[in-house]
Structure 1
Amino acid sequence: MPETPTITSSELGSLWLTYQQKTMILRMLEYFIEKADDVEAKNIMTGLYGEINPYVGKITEIFHSEGAVIPLGFSDQDVNKDVPKLYDNGFDIMFVRLIKEISMAMHSLNITMSYREDIVILFKELTSITQKYYNLCTQYLIKKGMLARPPYVSMPKSVEFVKDTNYLGGLTINPFSEKRPLNSVETAHLHHAIESNVIGMQMIIGFAQCANEKEVKQFFTEGAELAKSIIKEISETLLIDNIQAPVSSGGNPTRSTIAPFSDKLMMYCTSLFCGFSMGSSSLGTAFSLRNDLPAKISIFMKDIFEYAHRGAKIMINNGWMEEPPQMEERKQMNKK
């Protein structure tokens, strides 16, 4: 065995995806830092930029050493820092917090698919940075009153066990039966879904205002309506049990119609959010024991998947979708 083995296909794929994501985040941070009018928010984003920027170089070095082409990712051509603010009232930190949540999930998964020690260490270090800035963003937003906490609940005084299958309730047993109240685990996932979709909706409304291509503008408009419908449906589910849906006081798009980002970058960012939403929804269905909830969430997942699929077609037709490294086409090679 060589001292430093060649990277595997899973390591190559993980590094390639990380390169795409990090170059996108850096471009967006450059704009948000330039437009930040809050010193603490600016310091958080500047610190994050300084800590993750070197990892783009580290990934580039690995690709060089392996003889792999360097991905294009996102460059200075994908950001314009000189345009007016597209978002106001804390959206920059709200966005960074959600991006860090996505990054935590990706880095944790990448560690499980990495075998070479230097790559495992790289993803462990990125995970540590991500956790640090996720917490900084969370505490900032709470202090500023821009982040709604999940609902409180009376503390349990004894251990209870489910006594019969009526606990499952909902569709598959009797759709007309009275449903039990939501438990704390189900409430947590519903609250998180609303919180994520609110930020996604605000982001995509801003994108719709400034997109250059008509087809892209229409795609973003449809995405905002999809997010609204999901927020409305989940909020009604909470209100039935007298639980207040989370309401954020910040993150509003401005009236600007001048794009700070390329259509390519905005489409990729939306695709990333769709993938995160589907993954998060899958987790929500796995831990929801009331039968109506997985059924409802599955419909959301289907709608999000179809929306993301339309977005992928737009990216392909415009030449914006960079192709991940491919496995060898053995059948074609054999024919030759």
Structure 2
Amino acid sequence: MEQQTTIEAQGTIQEIHHHAPLTSSEIAILWRTNVYYSMLECIYKHFLNTLDAPDLRPYIEDAISMFEKRVNRTSKILKKEGPIPKGFGDEDIDLGAPRLFTDLYYYYFTLNLARIGLQLGGMNLSHSVRKDVRDFYTEALMSTTRFYNRFSEIMLEKGIYIRPPITNIYKEADVIEKQNFLRGFLGERRPLLAEEIDQLFFGIRNNELAKALATGFLQVAKSEQVRAYMVKGVEIARKLKDILSSALQKENIPVSIQSGELVTDSTIPPLSDKLMMQNVVVLIGIVNYATSIASSLRHDLIVTYTRLIGEAVNYGEDGINIMIENGWFEEPPRKIDRRELAKEPVH
């Protein structure tokens, strides 16, 4: 009898666990994942339709397949417990439009996207509780990892992988004995730490890619309002890149740049203004200068990154306002407002 009761209790626990509703965190990340990958699916269909390099094609096809699976899977999970985002679709892409970016940009964009996928994948998994959600993000993280490793190899083989700076470091570990280790404004500054160089380098790369993206969108956007936003984006990305580059140049650390054009001269939009705005706003939201602050100990670098956060937040807010004004901003899931329900007439 006791054994039967235990089995029944275990069965009840399993049943409750299996049918547990999604948490607020899970709803949020599934929603974001769905919108994000439906956007990327459109962008990569344009890439696939316009690329020249034959060895790039299978990677773009693999990426599209991953995006489709993630959109379908998140839609399936969300369907049972709430609304599915409209996201983006065929109406947001013109497959007959000429290429807007070069193959070289496709390579850089895809590698950076894989890096972002690794960061988001780990964060999304850590916010997941229910088994089906954890299983989904575990597989997503694993597939992104496999893709990143394979794609890094092909870029290294082609000689287009831009490596972070190589610099001489002390061979033995030591402890800090003086408070001037943190100094960055007055007196003699210590040399940059390897971790600080790393954050500066990837900040530069992110802004290079953002500048090229905004430049391309500026050429093809139909709305004057969107074009003005892209002009501002180009200016901000150039300024932020210069600020970060100067920190490396002051210590004679070379700043690597790509060897080739990234944007074509096309003026025919392959993507809708709505999708282009979403892409830029999402890119701004993903760039995490807070991580750079946490990884930097010199005062001048902390102040610099704090400024960059302010620039990014203001620019991103302007973008969301434009999207709201044009009816392009899809509201993420939110808690029911019971004050509004109380105003509904009683039936």
TM score, norm. by length of structure 1: 0.94
Query: In structure 2, the residue corresponding to 1:16 is in which secondary structure?
Result: helix
Gaps of 5+ in 1: none
Matched residue type, 2:297: L
Asked if 1:206 is matched to 2:216, the reply is yes
Per-residue deviation, 1:144: 2.5
2 CA distance for matches of 1:3 and 1:288?
43
Deviations 1:232-286 (A, max 9, x none): 1111111110101121124510100111111111111101110112x2x111111
Map of 1:319 onto structure 2:
327
Q: Does the CA contact (< 8 Å) of 1:52 and 1:126 recur in 2?
A: no
The answer on 1:48 being equivalent to 2:63 is yes
- C-alpha displacement of 1:32: 0.3
Query: 5 Å matches for 1:284-299?
Result: 284-299=292-307
Q: Secondary structure at the match of 1:249?
A: coil
- Give the corresponding residue for 2:160: 146
Query: What residue is the counterpart of 2:8 in the other structure?
Result: none
SS across alignment from 2:128: coil
Q: CA deviation at 1:31?
A: 0.7
Partner in structure 2 of residue 6 of structure 1: 21
- The structure that has the greater radius of gyration is 2
- The whole-number CA distance in structure 1 between the counterparts of 2:261 and 2:313 is 26
Residue equivalent to 2:10: none
Q: Which residue of 2 aligns with 1:265?
A: 275
Q: Pick from 45, 64, 89: which aligns with 1:75?
A: 89
The reply on whether 1:301 has 2:315 as its aligned counterpart is: no
Match of 2:183 in 1: 169
- Whole-Å separation in 1 of the counterparts to 2:217 and 2:66: 27
Instruction: Provide closer, same or farther for how the CA distance between residues 147 and 251 of structure 1 changes in structure 2, counting only shifts above 3 A.
Output: farther
Distance 2:78 2:164 in 1: 43
Structure 2: which amino acid aligns with 1:47? D
Q: Do the aligned partners of 2:277 and 2:323 also contact (CA within 8 Å) in 1?
A: yes
Match of residue 35 from structure 2 = 20
- Quote the offset at 1:335 in angstroms: 4.8
Task: Report the Cα distance in structure 1 between the residues aligned to 2:62 and 2:167, rounded to whole angstroms.
Answer: 36
Which residues of 2 match residues 229-244 of structure 1 at below 5 A?
A: 229-244=239-254
- Listed one character per residue, the Cα deviations across residues 191-232 of structure 1 (whole Å, up to 9, x for unaligned) are 110111111111110011100100100101110110101111
Give the equivalent residue in structure 1 for 2:291: 283
Structure 1 contact 89–250 (Cα < 8 Å) conserved: no
Question: 3-state DSSP class of the match of 2:248?
Answer: helix
TM-score normalised according to structure 2 size: 0.91
CA distance change for structure 1 residues 55 and 219 in 2, over 3 Å: closer, same or farther? same
Aligned equivalent of 2:338, options 314, 327, 330: 330
Contact preservation (8 Å) 2:277, 2:319: yes
Give, in whole Å, the separation in 2 of the partners of 1:155 and 1:291. Answer: 21
CA–CA distance in structure 2, aligned partners of residues 31 and 317 of structure 1: 27
Name the SS of the counterpart of 1:39 in structure 2.
Answer: coil
Structure 1 range deviating more: 101-110 or 285-294: 101-110
Instruction: Find the aligned partners of 2:203 and 2:227 in 1 and give their Cα distance.
Output: 24
Deviations 1:122-180 (A, max 9, x none): 0111111212222233233333333321111225321211120011112xxxx331211
Asked if residue 60 in structure 1 is aligned to residue 45 in structure 2, the reply is no
Distance change (3 Å), C-alpha of 1:188 and 1:335: same
Partner Cα separation in structure 1 for residue 260 and residue 41 of structure 2: 23
**Cα RMSD between the aligned structures?**
1.5
Structure 2 unaligned spans of 5+: 1-15
**Bigger shift: residues 73-82 or 131-140:** 131-140
Inter-partner Cα distance in structure 1 for 2:169 and 2:250: 21
Amino acid at match of 2:312: I
Q: Bigger CA drift: 56-65 or 256-265?
A: 56-65
Report which stretch shifted further, 92-101 or 79-88: 92-101
**Contact 1:271 1:311 survives alignment (8 Å):** yes
One-letter identity of the residue aligned with 1:179 = R
> C-alpha deviations, 1:43-66, integer Å up to 9, x for none?
111112123312222222222222
Q: Which amino acid aligns with 1:93?
A: Y
Deviations 1:265-319 (A, max 9, x none): 1111101110112x2x111111111110010111111011111111010000000
User: Aligned to 1:241, what secondary structure does the other structure show?
Assistant: coil
8 Å CA contact 1:92–1:251 kept in 2: the answer is no
